[in-house]
A and B are shown apart, each in its own frame.
Chain A
């Protein structure tokens, strides 16, 4: 298999899924709800920031908004990915894909890119908040850029988990719940293990939690330590998805 075909084949599938996603009202419904809620939160933080003096506007308003956006994506990502493989399975088109000249890793990557694009579509809507703060002259461009880099990494993790969940079942609701449950578990694990006072367990759980690695991005730091974590996390779940597709042949 040549590199050219690998990329071309992946993009054909990616394009098809993208058309699918943006031709259905689902993504726009999610996008409007998402903007509404985040916009409302932003407004509240701005009002609250008026009373504070010790924090910069970036830290008082944008940091908590970004934290909330990240939390929201734990719910939203599995909803974006829930149809990606379940629908193929339900319509029996997965057989068509598996019989075609595409190999399973092309299928997984194509689907993953489609999921990422949907998530980025939602994320782009939030750019208006830093822009508004920026217009007041209080923006911190470096921090904002590093946060959006951080978002891209966390979204990769969320989407890969959601994609794996959707490869396990042909019911989109079940897939969404599985993805959500797993992301929640990773998050809660860190919280509860930290509470045990066992330093060792706490550190391990913290390392595994996505939020922990995201924090440094919000502070404006981009560390290879976090980047490696995000890439290996995503790679692991994409690999699991590929394996899950291939077990269908047994």
Chain B
């Protein structure tokens, strides 16, 4: 995908956006609402023409748009058959292919039911089945889990993961936990501009390299505080007390793990260490930092 620009009248939705999706990976496409994700994906599949730039797609594409394209008055099985037919599939393989996909998406129990009467989770799975029907090399999912309940989200996520072996997957989302859990690579955009693109771990490291510790203590005074900051060099420290316990939150600059040194110091100085745990900066914070900063 090369330097895509899309200009809607009065709005530059995408500004020279370029990124690459590696074959055989799950690629997360992140951005806040209105960042241009859907526009980008529509351009990718060819529903919208870019104002400038070009898209290169190697292989067939299955697309699950933001609003699932379902005929509410059709039975699931008939719907999939119709989709298979308009995608010009051979009559002989349509039946086996549909059965396979119905199994894959666990649609067996609703096969003979009207789409209108299905729950949102099932509807979304029917829509995914639609995208899989012609066995595409690349699957593009536009915010696939929006509006699903937590259980359905987990099921859907596992479903996506199970597709990884056969297909390259590009999917957009603004839910970071989700992207964090299933993606290999990430692309982050904001206001139509590319912010970062690359392997997930690399991006997390770039933006979330700091260690954060939550410590619960019984004894705490300003002397220990000063000593500690001299010893370990904190970036920032938050102190709060509740029920005679002191809770401190330490933001460390270094990349090394200093938990053992800190606990040793606290025990030797009789601070009454009750608990200590590490808080990793997750994508959520990365995201906040990037899109606001």
Contacts and interface: CB of A to CB of B under 8 A. Distances in A.
B49 A249 contact: yes
A92 B87 contact: no
Contacts of B49: 249-250
Secondary structure of the A contact surface, majority rule? helix
Secondary structure of the B contact surface, majority rule? loop
Instruction: Bin the interface of chain A by size.
Output: 20 to 34
A91 B46 contact: no
Interface residues of B, number: 22
Interface in B33-80: 45-49, 63, 65, 67-74
Contacts of A93: 69-71
A23 B48 CA distance: 33
A9 B47 contact: no
Given A20-B73, A92-B68, A12 B48 contact: no
Contacts of A207: none
- Best-surrounded residue of B68, B70, B72, B86 (most CB of chain A within 10 A): B86
A96 interface: yes
Interface string A64-107: 00000000000000000000000000011111111111100000
Contact of A97 (B65, B73, B86): B86
Interface string A195-227: 000000000000000000000000000000000
Contacts of B19: none
A54 interface: no
B130 interface: yes
A9 B87 CA distance: 9
A57 interface: no
A5 interface: yes
A95 B74 CA distance: 17
B55 to A, nearest CB: 13
Contacts, number: 56
A248 B73 CA distance: 25
Contacts of B232: none
A97 B87 CA distance: 9
A16 interface: yes
Contact of A99 (B63, B67, B74, B85): B63
Given A12-B82, A23-B73, A249-B47, A96 B88 contact: no
A14 to B, nearest CB: 12
A24 interface: yes
Given A5-B88, A100-B86, A102-B86, A95 B69 contact: yes
A13 interface: yes
Nearest to A101: B88
Given A92-B68, A95-B65, A249-B48, A24 B85 contact: no
Contacts of A92: 65, 67-69
For the complex of A and B, list the 4 residue pairs with the smallest distance between their C-beta atoms, beginning with the closest. A96-B69, A100-B86, A101-B88, A92-B67
Given A92-B69, A99-B45, A101-B86, 20 more contacts: A9-B86, A12-B82, A12-B86, A24-B73, A91-B69, A91-B70, A92-B65, A92-B68, A93-B70, A94-B69, A95-B63, A95-B69, A98-B47, A100-B83, A100-B88, A101-B87, A101-B88, A102-B86, A248-B47, A249-B46
Interface of B: 45-49, 63, 65, 67-74, 82-83, 85-88, 130
Interface of A: 5, 9, 12-13, 16, 20, 23-24, 91-102, 248-250
